[in-house]
Amino acid sequence: MVDIAPGAVPSPNIWSSPRVYELENRAVDPDGVIEAAMGRIRSWDGATVLDVGCGTGYHLPRFARTAARVIGVEPHAGLAAAARRRLATGGREPQAERAGGASTAKTIKGFDVADVADVAVRVGAAQALPVPAASVDVAHARWAYFFGPGCEPGLAELARVLRRGGTAFIIDNDATRSTFGGWFRRWLTAYDPMAVERFWTRQGFAREPLDIRWVFDRRADLAAVLRIEFPAELADRFLAEHPGCEVDYAVNLWWRHY
């Protein structure tokens, strides 16, 4: 049985289907809109970066290109081990299972683990980060734990580990618009995006609304990802309604300087 950090909130999509989730990671935001927006708010050049809920470490090599130190924290020990393997192979992705049985691998351009002074992956939950107080310059959480009301323990941990002048970035869905936002509302009919927005505002976060895309190599890959994100009946309905391999997708970049 895989070890899970105490207090971890399950993430069924990546926990149950990490290879399919790798396809989703590759499909999200091919234009780098999120990363560019973060960089305009607070650069991580020469900084200590914390990636909360890092999964298989997809974003760690990107931060490591210019950061002085990168720490990934992941509550699922099996995924944390995959993140370490990614780093040990110079940023190469784990084998991603494509729909139809084939698999692919890709090297992330511009990253060589030999050139990075300090990159580490630790097992831990957002509510009890295995990181010393006042040791982080930039914290990043993308579709991980910080989904609005109820995440106050994790926010307290961010306040503990961030240095004065540090910045936290949280990326989550904007359910008020876009094709994906419409799908999200049809799945979680009780979801109140305005209540979530009020929550983040009360916590002192600013919002940067962003328009990104999902772009898949094959329609079968889109189908596989929809089936780990939504119940099967809804996933099949969405697929039937939406042609092609591209989906317009709106997100909120929440950020706060500490």
- What are the residue boundaries of the structural domains of the chain, listed by start? 12-257
pLDDT higher than threshold 50 for residue 13: yes
CATH class of the domain whose range is 12-257: alpha beta
pLDDT above 80 for 1: no
Residue range 101-126: average pLDDT?
A: 61
Is it the case that residue 140 has pLDDT exceeding 80?
A: yes
- Burial track 115-148 (b if 16+ CB lie within 10 A, e otherwise): ebeebebbbbbbbbbebeeebbbbbbbbbbbbbb
Whether the predicted pLDDT of 108 surpasses 50: no
- Closest residue by Cα to residue 49 from 145, 120, 148, 128: 120
At residue 115, does pLDDT exceed 70?
A: no
Give the contacts of 1 (CB within 8 A, at least 6 positions apart): none
205 membership: H or E segment, kind and range: none
Handedness of CA 237, 176, 150, 52 (dihedral sign): positive
Q: What is the pTM of this model?
A: 0.91
SS3 readout for 74-137: ECEHHHHHHHHHHHHCCCCCCCEECCCCCEECCCCCCCCHHHCCCEEEEECECCECCCCCCCEE
Q: How many CB atoms lie within 10 A of CB 256?
A: 20
Residue 210 has pLDDT above 80, yes or no: yes
Q: What percent of the chain is modeled with pLDDT above 70?
A: 89
Q: Token pair for residue 258?
A: 């500490």
Please tell me which residue, 95 or 70, carries the higher pLDDT value. Answer: 70
3-state helix, strand, coil in the chain (%, to 5): 35, 25, 40
Lowest mean pLDDT among 52-66, 107-121, 130-144, 162-176: 107-121
pLDDT at 93: 60
Any long-range contacts for 88-95 (C-beta under 8 Å, 24+ apart)?
88/113, 89/113, 90/114, 91/61, 91/64, 93/22, 93/26, 93/56, 93/58, 94/18, 94/19, 94/22, 94/56, 95/19
